[in-house]
Copies of this chain bind each other. A is one copy, B any other.
Amino acid sequence: MSSPLCRLKIINGNTCQPMTANIDAYAQAARFPHTEIVTVQPRLGPESIESFYDEYLAIPGILEQIILDTESDAFILACWGDPGIEAAREITSRPVVGIAEASLYMANMLAAKWSVVTTLHRVRDMVEKTVEKTGLTQRCASVRTTKLSVLDTEQDRQATLDVLTEASQLAIQTDGAEAICLGCAGMSGLEQQLEERLGVPVIDAVAAAVKMAESLVSLGKTTSKQLTYRLPEIKEMKGYETHFSAESFRH
């Protein structure tokens, strides 16, 4: 039995090229042989997403990566927070997977309680809302924020590892976490070292999303167009390139 090719596009929500490269490297390591992965970043948007403001300004560029794509079988939104995912599901019937939801589902199959360990303290509310959106708040032992900016996670891997270790140990010892979800795409590639240090499962969100996307594609699943995720209505879209008009992706 030979697998049909599965072409995934990973969209880094941040416009930071080294981070895109890092995500790509770890995603390639997580894919099945029959999967092809292309990792891209938006043409417009913030270098890194660390506030609601950053997140909302990143979304048009993320969506554009889907609108202009005619080759991928599924899309992965590689920013913990799954920015714009409902809109992404409207503009295509090809599956869209968010790295946050994927990592939480995976954690839920491995541990009774888990914590999300992530970047700057200010994102606590954003992270809690993302957990809430998946419905898994009751299984979440805690959200542990740190002093790490998104770009820090790329630039000093050893220091990042140390900060994540410390925050994770607090989550385990104080909050009752039995597994750790890394709450930022920039942390990809650190999960194995963390697992060794901590002795509990550590979920890399990008890898989790690659597996979910491969799964949906291999089963031939597509997003429901029944009601909520129907293609957007055609209408004037002021100040955006014409490909943002629903006419461009309704055929």
Chain A residues proximal to chain B, CB less than 8 Å: 1-3, 15, 30, 32-34, 42-48, 50-57, 59-61, 63, 84, 86-87, 89-91, 95-97, 101, 105-106, 108-113, 121-122, 124-126, 134-139, 149, 172, 176-179, 199-201, 203-204, 207-208, 211-212, 214-216, 218-219, 221-224, 226-230, 232-233, 235-240, 244, 246
Partner of A224, one of B96, B135, B178: B178
Q: Give A46 to B34 CA distance when docked, in angstroms.
A: 40
Contact status of A53 and B87, CB under 8 A, knowing A15-B238, A211-B218:
yes
| Contact sample, A vs B, 16 pairs, CB 8 Å cutoff | A3-B33, A30-B219, A33-B34, A43-B239, A53-B63, A53-B87, A53-B91, A95-B110, A96-B109, A109-B212, A111-B228, A124-B228, A200-B224, A201-B222, A211-B219, A215-B215
Instruction: Determine how many copies of this chain the complex contains.
Output: 6
Say whether B125 contacts A113, CB under 8 Å.
yes
- The minimal Cβ–Cβ distance linking A193 to chain B, given in whole angstroms, is 14
Neighbouring B residues of A96 by C-beta, 8 Å: 109
Say whether A227 contacts B124, CB under 8 Å.
yes
Q: Which residue of B lies closest to A90 (CB)?
A: B53
- Which one of A34, A112, A232 has the greatest number of beta carbons of chain B within 10 Å? A112
Say whether B106 contacts A226, CB under 8 Å.
no
Say whether A233 contacts B138, CB under 8 Å.
no
Say whether B230 contacts A110, CB under 8 Å.
no
Neighbouring B residues of A239 by C-beta, 8 Å: 15, 42-45, 61
Neighbouring B residues of A214 by C-beta, 8 Å: 211, 215
- The minimal Cβ–Cβ distance linking A13 to chain B, given in whole angstroms, is 12
Q: Give A126 to B228 CA distance when docked, in angstroms.
A: 8
- Which one of A50, A135, A214 has the greatest number of beta carbons of chain B within 10 Å? A135
